[in-house]
Amino acid sequence: VPKERATIRMVAQTAGVSIATVSRVFAGAPSVSAALRHRVTEAARQLDYTPHPVARSLALGRTQIVGLLVPNLANPSVCGLIKHLLGEAERADHRLVVTDTDDDPESEAAVGTSLLQHVDALILCAPQADAEVLDALAGHGKPVVVVNRAVDSPRLGNVLVDDTAALRDLAAHLASLGHRRVAYLRGPSRSWQDARRWQAVRSLAEHGVEVTPVEGGGRLDDGRRGAEAVLRAGCTAVIAFNDLMAFGVMAALREHGARVPDDVSVTGCDDVPLARCVTPTLTTVRGRLREAGAATWRMVAGMLGGAAPERPVVLETEAVIRDSTGPCPRPAPVRAG
Amino acid sequence: VPKERATIRMVAQTAGVSIATVSRVFAGAPSVSAALRHRVTEAARQLDYTPHPVARSLALGRTQIVGLLVPNLANPSVCGLIKHLLGEAERADHRLVVTDTDDDPESEAAVGTSLLQHVDALILCAPQADAEVLDALAGHGKPVVVVNRAVDSPRLGNVLVDDTAALRDLAAHLASLGHRRVAYLRGPSRSWQDARRWQAVRSLAEHGVEVTPVEGGGRLDDGRRGAEAVLRAGCTAVIAFNDLMAFGVMAALREHGARVPDDVSVTGCDDVPLARCVTPTLTTVRGRLREAGAATWRMVAGMLGGAAPERPVVLETEAVIRDSTGPCPRPAPVRAG
DNA sequence: GTGAAAGCGCTAACAG
DNA sequence: CTGTTAGCGCTTTCAC
């Protein structure tokens, strides 16, 4: 039998004070006499009173809720970021409402706008929408922070993990192992991260390595599907857009009878916890999720506090060489000419 | 320059009607003349008006937000459930606020109670708190449904994936492969699922198999840490509480020089997407996340609609035999006696 | 069909 | 220090 919820008025009445006093006590205002404060807390305890968050939100004009829009919860890297943000949010007495676009760039604008109505601030993880769309979201006057996608709007907060250098290292590593034909398994087509990684991967050309882009998408199955093209192209190594695709391509390569790394080397990106558990352990690039989460929250909190968005925070990262990369099994093919 | 948000009053004024009419139009009330309806929608469009969700919530007494408390976002199985719930919630025009207890049973009561203040209903995923604590949460008069943990309170909704039969099949499978010493890598100590799975695993005794429980916890690293105990106990197979631990134990076994499945067979539980991608592919038990998510949302929606909690929904599941289980490498050890 | 007005529960001036 | 009062923006009787 659910008892009716106690209101501030009831507490005021049983404590014999005004509702303003009750409000002050719960706001921790110092200007309340110890005697009244005690009567109020006692009455509240007795009635099991808790301030109504919605009423509070209406009066205050803020909800203590932050929205989080992610591309796909099926990606452990994304979940890792959420987890860290959750921790930060909780410490700051905020709640997170999470939404997943299922890798659909088209839905970002609508979902983001809708989400923005309900929250104090919005965090966009690797969004693929046009720059104007993202900038428009900031036009609602609430803090919007974009993670892992560069934006130049001065109204948007921006936190980036820059994996360019790490991927170039990875490329050099593969070149030094003798690989001469390397595939790049692409991420989502409109993804900023993909464009960026692809650019870094093309540094392989500097080492005289031929690099073949293979259509992908970002998910486990996209990795699976890429294996055939990789083999068909005669590549001896594949750099996958992320760890998830790396897992997928490794599985499919094996199904096609290719061994990793003996026949084909594979690398990922993000360094999800599983990367060090699979067989062979995955060569990849650290995702720095903890730091990214912390930086993101710091930025959100700052903007909630009225600060203008600071300059973008860029986190450098590094490659982690494990067992999924090895020497090229074949001599370099003779070029026609 | 963020323009001020339009209110219902402004719309009423520019449309030349009362705010009640505007409210009716947005509520889709049929009792508004086409003429006024048109003037209102036009004014709203012009002012870029959207009803203020918080004000609406206060007046209506509901937020269209559902809380979700999960043990650990690091578990892909948990993320899978969230993903499906997210889909259902979106279809029903509800938002989800997600919280993670980080496998801490102590925090469930507090976090759950706090969350319950802000939401219309609460979903608890595999909670480990005492039955009375969970029942108490239902005492707030809002729908509470518990997933993957049996509860007998008539106030609580309950959705379960019953893996008992599947695990007994798995046990029989291992026995038929000749294994005579099998380890069970335990999940979180107060977990209902763990108790249940352990009970099913003990059916190995019926096949004359000795089964050794090994302390675990549910996370990847808990799996890793279990490997040594498994080997020390001379087990030729290990049934892990979940896939994540199975991945961990496989990695650690390999590090200890044991091959899977040649030296040690490994099984998991949940059938996360990666289970079919790791090497060797993982023998496990289907988690039926999609169905569990759908059933859970159906129950939440029903209870939000005022229905009493239905009887528990129990989903049967099945084992999936893959490559991580194989014949026992050794003859049965001679028993002392 | 439409409007006026009384809340929903809380906060924050403003008086005293 | 404490109380009174006017909102926050919307919904919903209750009259007309």
Please state the rounded mean pLDDT for residues B142-149. 98
pLDDT at position B337? 39
Please state the rounded mean pLDDT for residues A145-149. 98
The 10s digit of each residue's pLDDT in A217-273 is: 999 999 999 999 999 999 999 999 999 999 999 999 999 999 999 999 999 999 999
pLDDT at position B330? 76
**Mutation test of the interface with chain A: which of B277, B289, B322, B324, choosing the one with the most A Cβ atoms within 10 A?**
B277
pLDDT at position A315? 98
Closest residue to A141, CB basis, from B2, B86, B90:
B2
Closest residue to B117, CB basis, from A53, A247, A254:
A53
Backbone angles phi, psi at A296, to 5 degrees: -60, -50
Give kind and range of the element (H or E) at residue A42: helix A34-47
Please state the rounded mean pLDDT for residues B217-227. 97
pLDDT at position A2? 55
Q: Which two tokens stand for residue B22?
A: 């505007």
Q: Residues of B with CB below 8 A from A254's CB?
A: 279
Query: pLDDT-based confidence at A330, cuts 50/70/90?
Result: confident
| Own/partner pairs, B57-65, CB within 8 angstroms, 24+ separation | B57/A54, B58/A54, B58/A55, B58/A58, B62/B120, B63/A54, B63/B118, B63/B119, B63/B120, B64/B93, B64/B94, B64/B95, B64/B120, B65/A97, B65/A118, B65/B94, B65/B95, B65/B96, B65/B97, B65/B118, B65/B119, B65/B120
B139 pLDDT above the threshold of 70? yes
Query: pLDDT-based confidence at A145, cuts 50/70/90?
Result: very high
B244 pLDDT above the threshold of 50? yes
* Closest residue in chain B to residue A140, using alpha carbons only: B2
> Which residues lie closer than 8 Å to B229 by C-beta, 6 or more apart?
B183, B214, B215
Q: How far apart are CA A243 and CA A230, in angstroms?
A: 17
Q: Inspect the interface and report whether the beta carbons of B281 and A98 lie closer than 8 Å.
A: no
Q: How far apart are CA A59 and CA A53, in angstroms?
A: 10
CA of A17 to C1' of D3 (A): 8
The 10s digit of each residue's pLDDT in A157-183 is: 999 999 999 999 999 999 999 999 999
DSSP A239-298: EESSHHHHHHHHHHHHHTT--TTTT-EEE-SB--GGGGTSSSPPBEEB--HHHHHHHHHH
Q: Residues of A with CB below 8 A from B117's CB?
A: 50, 52-53
Closest nucleotide to A61 by C1' from CA: D8
Q: How far apart are CA A116 and CA A144, in angstroms?
A: 9
B33 pLDDT above the threshold of 50? yes
CA of B52 to C1' of D16 (A): 29
**Mutation test of the interface with chain B: which of A244, A250, A277, choosing the one with the most B Cβ atoms within 10 A?**
A277
Please identify which residue in the block is written with the tokens 């829009």.
Answer: A69
Closest nucleotide to B9 by C1' from CA: D9
CA atoms within 13 A on the CB side of B290: 3
* Nucleotide C9: closest residue by CA–C1': A55
Please state the rounded mean pLDDT for residues B280-289. 98
Q: How many helices (H) and strands (E) does chain A have?
A: 12, 12
Q: Inspect the interface and report whether the beta carbons of B139 and A90 lie closer than 8 Å.
A: no
A331 pLDDT above the threshold of 70? no
- DSSP E strands in chain B: the ranges are 65-70, 95-100, 121-125, 144-147, 157-162, 181-185, 210-214, 237-240, 265-267, 284-285, 313-316, 319-320
Backbone angles phi, psi at B185, to 5 degrees: -85, 105
Please state the rounded mean pLDDT for residues B197-218. 96
Q: Residues of A with CB below 8 A from B93's CB?
A: none
CA of B59 to C1' of D13 (A): 13
> Which residues lie closer than 8 Å to B13 by C-beta, 6 or more apart?
none
pLDDT at position A4? 82
Closest CA to A25 of A6, A10, A11: A11
pLDDT at position A75? 98
* Closest residue in chain A to residue B66, using alpha carbons only: A97
- How many CB atoms neighbour CB A272 within 10 A? 28
* Closest residue in chain B to residue A51, using alpha carbons only: B117
CA of B25 to C1' of C4 (A): 18
Q: Residues of B with CB below 8 A from A98's CB?
A: 82, 86, 96-98
Give the percent of chain B with pLDDT over 70: 97
Nearest-CA distance B198 → chain A (Å):
25
Contact A226, A214 (CB under 8 A): yes
Please state the rounded mean pLDDT for residues A272-288. 97
> Which residues lie closer than 8 Å to B259 by C-beta, 6 or more apart?
B253
The 10s digit of each residue's pLDDT in B68-79 is: 999 999 999 999
Strand D nucleotides with an atom less than 7 Å from a protein beta carbon:
1-5, 7-13
Give kind and range of the element (H or E) at residue A36: helix A34-47
**Mutation test of the interface with chain B: which of A274, A281, A290, choosing the one with the most B Cβ atoms within 10 A?**
A274
Cα distances (Å, whole numbers) of residue A92 to A123, A137, A156, B104, B328: 16, 24, 21, 19, 53
Across A110-124, b (16+ Cβ under 10 Å) vs e yields ebbebbbebbbbbbb
**Mean predicted lDDT score pLDDT of chain A:** 95
Query: pLDDT-based confidence at A337, cuts 50/70/90?
Result: very low
* Closest residue in chain A to residue B223, using alpha carbons only: A277
Assign A129 to helix, strand or coil.
coil
Cα distances (Å, whole numbers) of residue A203 to A199, A235, A240, A263, B48: 7, 16, 15, 23, 48
Question: Radius of gyration (Cα) for chain A, nearest Å?
Answer: 26
pLDDT at position B331? 64
Pairing type for strands B284-285 and B319-320 reads: antiparallel
Nearest-CA distance B57 → chain A (Å):
7
Assign B121 to helix, strand or coil.
strand
Pairing type for strands A95-100 and A121-125 reads: unpaired
Q: How far apart are CA A290 and CA A281, in angstroms?
A: 22
* Nucleotide D7: closest residue by CA–C1': A59
> Which residues lie closer than 8 Å to A205 by C-beta, 6 or more apart?
A211
Please identify which residue in the block is written with the tokens 């360094």.
Answer: A271
Query: pLDDT-based confidence at A30, cuts 50/70/90?
Result: confident
| Cis peptide bond upstream of A309, omega within 30 | no
Give the percent of chain A with pLDDT over 70: 97
The reply to whether the CB atom of residue B21 sits less than 7 A from any atom in nucleic acid chain C is yes
Strand C nucleotides with an atom less than 7 Å from a protein beta carbon:
1-5, 7-13
Closest nucleotide to B59 by C1' from CA: C8
> DSSP label at B149?
S
Q: Residues of B with CB below 8 A from A55's CB?
A: 58
* Nucleotide D9: closest residue by CA–C1': B55
Please state the rounded mean pLDDT for residues A275-291. 97
